[in-house]
């Protein structure tokens, strides 16, 4: 999702960037695409400056030199992400994302008891220019953003929830959960107080469904969260 997207221009980059040095977690690889489980704390693409050059794309290209970017995950979001092996696959997959033909499922832990157990957030979003890359709800100029949720279980003072983004705005899941009064745990931009005191952003891209760029076969890729 472009929960996805603007992601890697994030910089609480004023902080020290110390990405995890874990090996690639390859979920699938064929002549057209590569699917991996991205760790939290690693940029999807290089940031500005040599100190931000280490990223998932360059690590993948060390093994698959022809790999091409299709979409992104925020630096602190973990989980399933796909790369193309050919220009044709890149065009095809990018079109699927743009036309909302892919299906994405996330798991998150949020602060408080989220009720009811299912629901939809329909709040338009726009960049908060003075505080970039933060996003904000704006009913006047925001772009449509819709997220469905389903509670999985309550855990002490937190809730484990599955999120289904219907659109792909930057920081969409993070802002929508904050707007409900249940920020995602460990979120450096939108969580405050006790909700901010977790070692990582508790947001994970659990499942991605798409059609194979060569032949259109429906495919599903999953990775379990580490939290």
Q: CB-based contacts of 194: which residues, under 8 Å, 6+ apart?
A: 111, 157
Helix residue ranges, H only, 56-171: 56-63, 87-98
Instruction: State the first-to-last Cα distance of the chain, in angstroms, to the nearest integer.
Output: 20
Cβ contact 55:83 at 8 Å:
no
Closest residue by Cα to residue 9 from 56, 70, 54, 52: 52
The partner residues of 122 in beta bridges, in order of sequence, read 146
Q: Which two structure tokens, joined as six digits, stand for 123? A: 């709040």
User: Which one of 25, 30, 54, 74 is the catalytic residue?
Assistant: 74
The question of whether 74 is a catalytic residue gets the answer yes
How far is Cα 19 from Cα 89, in angstroms, rounded to an integer?
Answer: 28
How far CA 176 is from CA of 5, 124, 139, 182, 196, in Å, comes to: 16, 9, 13, 9, 16
Closest residue by Cα to residue 108 from 172, 187, 202: 202
Catalytically active residues are 74
């Amino acid at each position: 999702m472009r929960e996805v997207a603007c992601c890697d221009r994030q910089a609480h980059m004023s902080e020290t960037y110390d990405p995890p040095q874990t090996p690639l977690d390859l979920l699938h690889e064929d002549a057209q695409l590569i699917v991996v489980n991205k760790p939290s704390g690693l940029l999807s693409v290089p940031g500005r400056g040599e100190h931000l050059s280490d990223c998932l794309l360059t690590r993948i290209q060390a093994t698959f030199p022809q790999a091409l970017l299709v979409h992104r995950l925020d630096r602190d979001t973990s989980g399933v992400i796909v790369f193309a092996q050919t220009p044709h696959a890149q065009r095809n997959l990018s079109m699927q994302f743009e036309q909302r033909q892919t299906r994405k499922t996330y798991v998150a832990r949020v602060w408080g008891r989220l009720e009811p157990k299912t629901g939809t957030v329909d709040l338009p979003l726009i960049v908060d220019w003075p505080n970039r890359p933060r996003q904000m709800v704006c009913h006047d100029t925001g772009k449509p953003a819709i997220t469905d949720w389903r509670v999985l279980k309550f855990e002490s003072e937190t809730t484990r929830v599955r999120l289904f983004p219907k659109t792909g705005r930057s920081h969409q899941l993070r802002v929508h959960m904050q707007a409900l009064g249940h920020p995602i745990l460990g979120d450096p931009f939108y969580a405050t107080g006790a909700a901010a005191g977790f070692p990582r952003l508790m947001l994970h891209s659990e499942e991605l469904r798409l059609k194979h760029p060569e032949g259109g076969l429906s495919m599903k890729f999953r990775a379990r969260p580490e939290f």
